[in-house]
Amino acid sequence: MSYILNITGFILKGSIVTLKLYAVAIVFSIPLGIVGALGKTSNKKWLKNILEIYIWIIRGTPLLLQLFFVYFGLPVFGIKLGRFQAAAITFIINYGAYFTEIFRAGIESVDKGQYEAAKALGMNYKQTMRRIILPQAIKRVLPPTSNEAITLMKDTALVAAISMGDILRAAKEVLTRDFNVTPFIIAAIIYLLLTSVVVLVFKQLEKKYAIYE
């Protein structure tokens, strides 16, 4: 029992890095996705084309490759980032692309009559989006956004590849030292608990936005 408590404490120290990275990535990637979605649903063709290329590149290449490029590749161009900075930027850019498509689909799913009704009431584009379209779109995109938020929590484990001391790396260090599978079981339980919290948060959000049904 004391062994389990000791290694659990060590692995939990790695969860600090995981949670910090997750918090930064989710806080910045969701707004990036909203801005991207608004850009894709706008009338500016040049902006749409730029966003299309951005999404095509991000969704068409592995997240781990993107992480390696930012951390190991950018120094070739004179841009050197710390491990956490590189990981945070990679995750924000990556998930921003996925959230862009999720939010775009949500916005476009709102009936066009809503726009006409808002226009009849004298609302401009910003007012229409803020008061009419986005509240309805948010309700519709919560399930896929929840899935991406859960995936993000699990994907943070990839930072072990650039030697960041997250949950997975801490568990792997103990396993290498003791040749015991217990650390991986504990790491799995920690990830399950963390993702369960994310699920509960989004369930509460779904209840909050249920009024827009």
* Segment 135-154 mean pLDDT: 91
Q: What share of the chain is helix, strand, coil (3-state, %, to 5)?
A: 85, 0, 15
For residue range 148-160, what is the model confidence (pLDDT) as tens digits? 999 999 999 999 9
Sole residue written with tokens 């779904």: 206
* pTM, two decimal places: 0.90
- Residue 3: CB partners within 8 Å, gap ≥ 6? 182
* Segment 34-51 mean pLDDT: 93
- Residue 108: CB partners within 8 Å, gap ≥ 6? 41
Give the pLDDT band (50/70/90) at residue 19.
very high
User: What domains does the chain contain, in order, with CATH numbers?
Assistant: 2-212 (1.10.3720.10)
pLDDT number for residue 102: 96
Give the pLDDT band (50/70/90) at residue 61.
very high
Can you tell me the distance from the alpha carbon of 178 to that of 153, in angstroms, rounded to the nearest whole number? Answer: 27
Would you say residue 49 has pLDDT above 90? Answer: yes
Give the pLDDT band (50/70/90) at residue 18.
very high
∠ at Cα 25 (20, 28), nearest 5°? 125
Determine what percent of the chain is predicted with pLDDT higher than 90.
Answer: 70
